[in-house]
Structure 1
Amino acid sequence: MFRARTRPAQDPATSGSPPGARPTVAIVVLAAGGVLVSLLQTVVVPLLPRFPELLSVSPSTASWLITANLVAGAVSAPVLGRLGDMFGKRRMLLVALGLVGVGSLLGALAPGIGLLLVGRVLQGAAFGVIALGMSLMRDILPPERVGFGVGLMSSSLGFGGAIGLPITGVVAQFTDWRWLFAGAAALALLQIVLVLRLVAESGQRPGGRFDAVGAIGIGAVLVAVLLAVSKGNEWGWTSPQVIGLTLAALLLAPVIGWYELRSPAPLIDLRVSARPAVLLTNTATVLVGFSMFAGFVLITQLLQAPLDTGYGFGQSLVVAGLVLLPMGGSMVLFSSASARLSRRRGPRTTLVLGTLLLGAGNLAFATLPGTVWLLVLVSIVTAIGASLAYSSIPLLIMRAVPESETAAANSLNTLARQLGTSACTAFVTAVTTAFVLDDGILPAGIAYTIAFAGAGAAGLVATLLVALTPAPAPQPAQGTGDGTAGGPARPTTGEPAACRH
């Protein structure tokens, strides 16, 4: 295990960081990282049916282009978060972006599936970008701008996912798919330059030891869980692989938990994570991820399904992707409203409203809207709910943990979100393959109804969990708003004092 020495907060001008870039500029630069992350997550999804032919591999092998990225991200996120708390969040953000750039370049040049999978694994480092960026905002922004910045960065995930599908469709239709990876490499390089020039380093750096044993153990548990969830439909839920992975996770998790509780510098502080405010919020995050992702998975399928199915609209991939643009735009626009609502009423109120809208929107989808415009209207409702929910969740997490653990805590919350989206993908696949039309290929209308109803129920259960979550005890700040140590406590969420209880 290696150790980072505790350092007092430094003035950015003397520590090699940009000398106090304007808050709005820093917010935009960091939020752009969220767009990049979501683009990387969706860039290969529309191409999965074509990759077996393009790369001369089986469909099951091609599916690893998503699974490998998901698993790598799950392992790297908590590691990068902890290293960010130890050595500097901006520094580790640059490392993550560098790995993304290298992975994207490998993907663009890959002659076959092997190197392309390596590139997708390196791109998994993007999962750490979100947690590091939001934690960095808490440290470097004025308190009154933290809520808006975190909300915008969180909502940028939805916007990036919405624009990723039409971009992929256009590129795949008119040019070589490798340009998608080349473009991602160029965006990662641009992001590195912007962070270097326009974003200051955090003054919070408590140091400590890196928990290598915990990292390996937690990584093994996450790999087992995510492989079982993401490959369950393909391998079979009662297959030896899935049962073996599940048993391995169940046996290893208590052992790693015992070790982490006794470690002087754990990768994840389980005592903090077990606090009701943190545990219930992370559980609600899983349900929010499940509820939100159903729309991204199913709306394009509904739009592209033939008219003779009775529910489809017969649109092309490009048109289907364009229909999602209002969904992504709504998430970005309402991130500002979310910040204002959280300042006035507290982030828990914002999260309750968001989960209610998510639940109601998915239940409306379950009725299978008969026109494109009605489908767009319902998608906007769910997008607003997702924006309110995702913008407020990080604020609740950061209220409940010490400043020295914000990056690690946000990384764990990011994992909860990814577990929700992975579970949603598995659930949707199971339902749409169990209920099919007479041709035995296309899903029946009842499959979409069940899938959306399940996503709606997840949103409503999340509402109940959030309503029952106790307000977290205010955490003592370790520095002032300008990053200097030893000053008065600063608010941890950008809310006025009246809204922090």
Structure 2
Amino acid sequence: MESAPRPHYQLTFGILALGIGAFSLLQSLVIPLLSTVQAELHTSQSAVTWVLTAYLLSASVMTPILGRVGDIYGKKWVFVAALAGLAVGSVLAAVAPNLAVLIVARVIQGLGGGSLPLGFGIIRDEFPADRVAGAVGILAALTAVGGSLGIVLAGPIVNALNWHWLFWLPGIATMVAAVGAVLFIPQSPIRSPGTISWLPAVLLSGWLVALLVPLSEAPSWGWGAPAVIGLLAVAVLLAAAWVWSELRAATPLIDMKMMRRPGVWTNNLVALLIGVGMYAMFAFLPEFVQTPSSAGYGFGASITRSGLMLLPSGVTMFAVGLFVGTLTRRLGGKVLVVAGCVVGCAAMAMFAFAHSQEWEIYVATGVIGVGFGLAFSAMTANVVSAVPAGQTSVATGMNANIRTIGGSIGAAVMASIVTAKLEPSGLPAASGYTTGFGVMAAVVAVAALAALLIPSPRRPRTAATEAAAVGTLVMSGDAVTAESAAGETVASELGE
């Protein structure tokens, strides 16, 4: 542990928020501008989608690996390395002369995925115990806000500058965050002993690639294509081999015993299902509202205007994240996840059946921000409380990673539904969007049912018993608050 005075935790939080915020923006900034990038770089529509796919694959692979490396060797410098990779990738993308270089740059940017679990781990190490849930909730909400805010900002940035600045601006923010992390974030005092098991790391990479490539390409290749079926089969085999290797590894990359904890696997299942619905909405709602009204639906919105229609979701997600810490202590994380899924299901149903007026879109995006903001923030806090401190980074990293995998599934399934029936104009039929958003509402409803499986923490029956419990901890020299005592009890109860 460093002997110098440790910086105030609020300064640490500001640096974490800046770096993670830049990574979150880069997840979605390019979505509304793929057609512009396609024209600028003189490539095809199917080829330009790899600008998204490459980033998704890289982040999915690197998030749990860097989380584990941080747990072993110290979170500070691995966090700095993740931000450095994100900055280098952003600069390379900004000056990319062709599609191949841009795709390579997006792969490098995927290193920034490690900032998520490392940031959560740093919070648990550095923050007062009663501030951990709130800080984790805000950062978790920030990752979701970045997804919607990127779509909102893309149009104004391109109109005022050009598409290259979609990478310059996050790159500059990342550089500032990296310098701030070097100067002000203390080295983590908590480590998990061991080394990196490279066979599980390779197998993890293999099955994620084998899964995400066909899910991303199935709408163009066809779900029944031999390549899609073959890659999905390979993904299953590699996933089984990965689990086997993790169980046999002396120092597993991801502890399967940890993943079996009720407080972990239940929240991961909900994250997968919510990811399906959220990414499908972010990917296809802009396309829906940009469709000319002459098609019988849509509003003929510009890129900037379609982004503004998604703005309420980002605002409400972040606003909800500010109160998740307090709500978690009062109501419990399980209640918030269930409530968030129910609210999200209602909003998705609005997209399916109430989309003839612009105000309906604004209301629905605001409502879905409340629902997913509650669920994402509370899920992350649940996972943090369910694992030992030394496994925080890898556990939260896998939760975020599973959400990304769910997003890939959702985007691919939504694309297949929407494009199943095309009008003579070449535009999707209105029924495709209605069916697609209806299916996503059903998926989020299943997420609400899955959230009922999340263990409920035991609470002291009376104020007297709570005070006695805290008094015992204080007398034994453990300087914790009532909230942290409850958190450790939750971790203990969910642990096995």
- 2:155 matches 1:141: no
The number of residues matched between the two structures is 475
Rounded to whole Å, the distance in 2 between the matches of 1:38 and 1:417 is: 13
Shift of 1:337: 2.1
Shift of 1:464: 0.9
Read off the aligned partner of 1:351 and give its amino acid letter: V
Question: Is the 8 Å Cα contact of residues 99 and 125 (structure 1) preserved in structure 2?
Answer: yes
Q: Deviations over 1:374-411 (max 9, x none)?
A: 21111111100011011011111122222111111111
Rounded to whole Å, the distance in 1 between the matches of 2:445 and 2:130 is: 30
Rounded to whole Å, the distance in 2 between the matches of 1:258 and 1:91 is: 31
Which of residues 156, 160, 165 is equivalent to 1:179? 165
- Residue in 2 that maps onto 1:290: 276
- Residue in 2 that maps onto 1:451: 436
SS, match of residue 34 in structure 2: coil
- Residue in 2 that maps onto 1:314: 300
Read off the aligned partner of 1:301 and give its amino acid letter: E
Question: Is the 8 Å Cα contact of residues 332 and 457 (structure 2) preserved in structure 1?
Answer: no
Which of residues 370, 376, 383 is equivalent to 1:390? 376
Question: Is the 8 Å Cα contact of residues 346 and 495 (structure 1) preserved in structure 2?
Answer: no
Read off the aligned partner of 1:217 and give its amino acid letter: L
Question: Is the 8 Å Cα contact of residues 309 and 365 (structure 2) preserved in structure 1?
Answer: no
Query: Which shows bigger deviation, 307-316 or 262-271?
Result: 307-316
- Residue in 2 that maps onto 1:168: 154
CA-atom RMSD, angstroms? 2.2
Q: Deviations over 1:135-190 (max 9, x none)?
A: 21111111111111111111112322222123221232343322222222211101
Q: Deviations over 1:410-462 (max 9, x none)?
A: 111111110111111101111111133332x2222211111111221121111
- Residue in 2 that maps onto 1:3: none
- 2:117 matches 1:128: no
Read off the aligned partner of 1:269 and give its amino acid letter: D
- 2:427 matches 1:414: no
Rounded to whole Å, the distance in 2 between the matches of 1:336 and 1:104 is: 29
Which of residues 258, 265, 276 is equivalent to 2:251? 265
Rounded to whole Å, the distance in 1 between the matches of 2:330 and 2:225 is: 51
SS, match of residue 56 in structure 2: helix
Q: Deviations over 1:100-131 (max 9, x none)?
A: 01111111122212221111000011222111
- 2:177 matches 1:188: no
Rounded to whole Å, the distance in 1 between the matches of 2:401 and 2:271 is: 9
Q: Which runs of 5+ in 1 are unaligned?
A: 1-9, 475-485
Residue identity over aligned pairs, in percent, reads: 33
Shift of 1:494: 5.1
Which of residues 226, 229, 233 is equivalent to 2:215? 229
Rounded to whole Å, the distance in 1 between the matches of 2:408 and 2:207 is: 15
Rounded to whole Å, the distance in 1 between the matches of 2:27 and 2:208 is: 18
Rounded to whole Å, the distance in 2 between the matches of 1:230 and 1:489 is: 49
Rounded to whole Å, the distance in 1 between the matches of 2:126 and 2:230 is: 45
Rounded to whole Å, the distance in 2 between the matches of 1:169 and 1:499 is: 48
Question: Is the 8 Å Cα contact of residues 334 and 387 (structure 1) preserved in structure 2?
Answer: yes
Shift of 1:473: 9.4
Read off the aligned partner of 1:72 and give its amino acid letter: S
- 2:68 matches 1:68: no
- 2:391 matches 1:405: yes
Structure 2 counterparts to residues 333-344 of structure 1, below 5 A: 333-344=319-330
Query: Which shows bigger deviation, 167-176 or 124-133?
Result: 167-176
Question: Is the 8 Å Cα contact of residues 332 and 456 (structure 2) preserved in structure 1?
Answer: no
TM-score with structure 2 length normalisation? 0.91
Question: Is the 8 Å Cα contact of residues 219 and 416 (structure 2) preserved in structure 1?
Answer: yes
Question: Is the 8 Å Cα contact of residues 343 and 494 (structure 1) preserved in structure 2?
Answer: no
Shift of 1:497: 5.6
Query: Which shows bigger deviation, 101-110 or 292-301?
Result: 292-301
Rounded to whole Å, the distance in 1 between the matches of 2:153 and 2:362 is: 19
- Residue in 2 that maps onto 1:478: none
Rounded to whole Å, the distance in 1 between the matches of 2:403 and 2:483 is: 20
Question: Is the 8 Å Cα contact of residues 147 and 339 (structure 1) preserved in structure 2?
Answer: yes
Q: Deviations over 1:189-237 (max 9, x none)?
A: 0111222233323211123111111101111111111112111112222
- 2:218 matches 1:248: no
Which of residues 69, 72, 85 is equivalent to 1:99? 85
Q: Cα distance 1:158–1:253, how it changes in 2: closer, same or farther (>3 A)?
A: closer
Which of residues 334, 353, 373 is equivalent to 2:359? 373
Read off the aligned partner of 2:431 and give its amino acid letter: I
- Residue in 2 that maps onto 1:197: 183
Rounded to whole Å, the distance in 1 between the matches of 2:392 and 2:479 is: 16
Question: Is the 8 Å Cα contact of residues 289 and 419 (structure 1) preserved in structure 2?
Answer: yes
Rounded to whole Å, the distance in 2 between the matches of 1:191 and 1:445 is: 44
Which of residues 29, 39, 42 is equivalent to 2:28? 42
